[in-house]
Amino acid sequence: MQQFLQAAVIGVSLGAQYALLALGFTLIFGILGVVNFAHGGFYMLGGYVAYSCVSLLGLPYPLAVIGAVAATAALGWVFELYFLERLIDDHLATLMLTLGLYLVISTGSLTVFGPLAMEFHFPVTGAFHFGSIYVPKENLVVLVICLTALAALWAVLFRTDLGRGLRALADDRAVAMAQGMRPKLLFPAAFALATGLAGLTGALVTPILALSPGVGDPVLATSFLTVILGGLGSLGGAALAAFIVGMVEAYTSVYFGGSIGALVLFVLVLLLLVFRPTGLLGREVRGA
């Protein structure tokens, strides 16, 4: 029973992190129709910016996190405006551009920071122990920030003109543009929002786990898996799928081991694609 509860604690913690990543990933696909292969790169960059702010500039960690969000959002904005925008309807070109950006970010990080993991730690350490169940304090802090960020994202998308504009473009770009929506402003904004979320996750999670030039690779795989499960382009689906992935990963790894855990996740996605190709909450045709 204790093992069961411990797995639940781990699953929720993993799910919150995956949700932040997957929401950004699916936001970009839903609004721009772009599969962002640089998403793991923005996660990694968020970690490195936060690390640089703390270690090189001596900033307090909360400011470093804000700096990481600002830097990754700014890079996302510039990249969308000057590179993606020109080829936005060419899916192969945008795929290659984002993949290229990921290679630039990862190789650049390797060149600047070296191949070794950085000495970068979360300011809050320790764990609450309830018998043999433990809840790391740092995970609790990250969980609260993640849930707040998710709520803020929901508010932006569903309670502001910006969000309404973004959703309108996602639903039907031609009609939205005819109504006065400006893709040249809204597309970079959506991309910046998504990359800022990836940067936020990187700044929060890398000091808990590890920060090295390879940390973006598994992030991309997990984000991709999560949004496919949730339905590409579906925000609610991504959030739901993130917690399902977190729980499945936690329970299968605890009860069947690390190898089987990864396998179960892929089998689950495979079965879903066979029986429900649009994912949990995805639609059959993307409007944009």
Partner 1 sequence: MKHSRTPLAAVLTLFTPLALSIPLDLAATAAQAQSCEVKVGAMGPMSGGAAQWGLAMAGAAELAAAEVNAEGGIAIGGKKCKVVIVPYDSKYTADGAAAGSNALASQGIKVIIGPVGSPEATGIKPVAARNEQLAWNAAYAKNALEPKFPLMFHIAPGPGTWSDAMVKHALQSFPAIKSVALVAPNDQGGTDIASVDAVAYRNNGVTATEEYYQRGTTNFAPIITRLLANNPDAVDTASSPPGDAGVIVKQLRLAGFKGPIGRMGGPGTEEILRVCGGIDVLRDFYWFETVAETEKVRDIDNLYRKLVGKEPPGGTALWGNLPAARLTMKAIANAGTAEDASKVAAELRKLAVDDPNMGKGVWSGQKQYGINQELFFAFGVGIIKDGKNLGVTRMEPGT
Query: Cβ of residue 210: shortest distance to partner 1, in angstroms?
Result: 5
**Cβ atoms within 10 Å, residue 271:** 10
215 touching partner 1, by CB under 8 A? yes
Contacts of 160-165 spanning 24+ positions with Cβ under 8 A: 162/186, 162/189
For 125-130, which contacts have Cβ atoms below 8 Å and span 24 or more sequence positions? none
**Least separation in angstroms between CB 241 and partner 1:** 17
Would you count residue 140 as binding partner 1 (CB under 8 A)?
A: no
Task: Give the separation between CA 2 and CA 176, rounded to whole angstroms.
Answer: 52
What amino acid occupies position 18?
Y
| Position 199 contacts partner 1 (CB under 8 A) | no
What is the Cα 163 distance to its own chain's centre?
Answer: 18
Task: Check binding of 249 to partner 1 (CB under 8 A).
Answer: yes
Residues with Cβ within 8 Å of residue 166, at least 6 apart in sequence = 31, 157, 186, 189, 190
Residue 198: name the closest of 172, 224, 173, 165 by CA.
Answer: 224
Binding mask 49-88 for partner 1 (x = CB under 8 A): ----------------------------------------
The backbone torsions φ and ψ at residue 133, rounded to the nearest 5 degrees and listed phi first, read -90, 135
**Residue whose CB is less far from partner 1, 68 or 281:** 68
Residue selected from 78, 112, 127, 267 as contacting partner 1 according to rule CB under 8 A: 127
When asked if residue 123 is in the footprint of partner 1 (CB under 8 A), the reply is no
Q: Does 267 bind partner 1 (CB under 8 A)?
A: no
The count of residues interacting with partner 1 (CB under 8 A) is: 44
Shorter beta-carbon distance to partner 1: residue 83 or 113: 113
Site for partner 1 contains 258 (CB under 8 A): yes
Nearer to partner 1, 40 or 237 (CB): 40
Applying CB under 8 A, among 56, 92, 116, 285 the residue interacting with partner 1 is 116
Radius of gyration of the chain (CA): 19
Query: Which of 55, 125, 160, 179 touches partner 1 by CB under 8 A?
Result: 125
**Residues 170, 163 contacting (CB under 8 angstroms):** no
Sequence-distant (6+) residues with CB within 8 A of 193 are 24, 27, 73, 153, 156
* Binding footprint of partner 1 on the chain (CB under 8 A): 3, 6-7, 10, 13-14, 106-107, 110, 114-119, 121, 125-127, 129, 132, 134, 136, 209-210, 212-215, 217-219, 221, 249-251, 253-255, 257-259, 261-262
